[in-house]
Chains A and B, each alone.
Chain A
Amino acid sequence: EAQVTQNPRYLITVTGKKLTVTCSQNMNHEYMSWYRQDPGLGLRQIYYSMNVEVTDKGDVPEGYKVSRKEKRNFPLILESPSPNQTSLYFCASSFASGTYEQYFGPGTRLTVT
């Protein structure tokens, strides 16, 4: 089954404790991205990757890191999480750039206390 998976689905952590949210797709997609969703603000793009070893900032990259060492994986790293990063996070992938249909993961609900 074609899908995007994220782990963990739910995470409660404390300020400053480094964490990684994994994202994996099995569709051989070149393009992958991370979004955060907050009430009243909709979805905002954090980072995206056009292909292996090619990443770039989205609209809200501060406080986040990403890497793309393999085509299928695109982890999101929070080196020092803060409460304002409490949000619902989505990973998405598509055949090529953002002009194509995006396939979304199920989401990761992160709470930073």
Chain B
Amino acid sequence: SQQGEEDPQALSIQEGENATMNCSYKTSINNLQWYRQNSGRGLVHLILIRSNEREKHSGRLRVTLDTSKKSSSLLITASRAADTASYFCATDKLSGAGSYQLTFGKGTKLSVIP
């Protein structure tokens, strides 16, 4: 079952603008991760934020986490055409076997227009 849900489903912006994507989840987590997928290709890990962190930066990426609201946001600043991709949030959940599994949302499809 999916835990994370991204919003919006699709986003179209002009090159140079900022893009913000949101993720909401249902149960408590150890960490939340964001991944990127270029059309039809494998997912690539972007950033991981732990449950005791509120904000994290990596280059043009900024991720925030609000555990009280069970939500996260991914901000891409100064977007480029090459940022066109689908972005997924993933949260870990404790499985019946006592291990943590990663569950993905359905993704936000970002289009950056040159």
List residues of chain A with CB under 8 Å of any chain B CB.
4, 33, 35, 40-45, 48, 50, 56, 58-59, 88, 90, 92, 97-99, 101-107, 109
Q: Closest 9 interchain pairs by CB?
A: A104-B42, A42-B106, A98-B102, A99-B100, A43-B104, A98-B101, A99-B92, A97-B100, A104-B43
Binary contact readout B94-109 vs A (1 if CB under 8 angstroms, 0 otherwise): 0101011111111100
Inter-chain pairs besides A33-B102, A44-B104, 17 sampled, C-beta below 8 Å: A4-B42, A41-B106, A42-B2, A42-B107, A48-B101, A56-B95, A88-B40, A97-B92, A97-B99, A97-B100, A98-B99, A98-B100, A98-B101, A99-B30, A99-B31, A102-B102, A106-B42
Binary contact readout B67-108 vs A (1 if CB under 8 angstroms, 0 otherwise): 000000000000000000000101010010101111111110
Q: How distant is the Cα of A35 from the Cα of B43 in the complex, in angstroms?
A: 11
Q: How distant is the Cα of A42 from the Cα of B97 in the complex, in angstroms?
A: 24
8 Å CB contact of A102 from B2, B45, B105: B45
8 Å CB contact of B88 from A41, A43, A45: A43
In the assembled complex, which residues on chain A have CB atoms less than 8 Å from the CB atom of B88? 42-43
Does B48 lie at the interface of the complex (its beta carbon under 8 Å from any beta carbon of A)?
yes
What are 16 contact pairs spanning A and B, CB under 8 A?
Answer: A4-B42, A33-B101, A35-B104, A42-B105, A43-B43, A43-B88, A44-B2, A45-B101, A56-B99, A58-B101, A97-B92, A98-B92, A98-B100, A101-B33, A107-B42, A109-B40
List residues of chain B with CB under 8 Å of any chain A CB.
1-2, 30-31, 33, 35, 40-45, 48, 88, 90, 92, 95, 97, 99-107
Q: How distant is the Cα of A106 from the Cα of B41 in the complex, in angstroms?
A: 6
Q: How distant is the Cα of A42 from the Cα of B104 in the complex, in angstroms?
A: 7
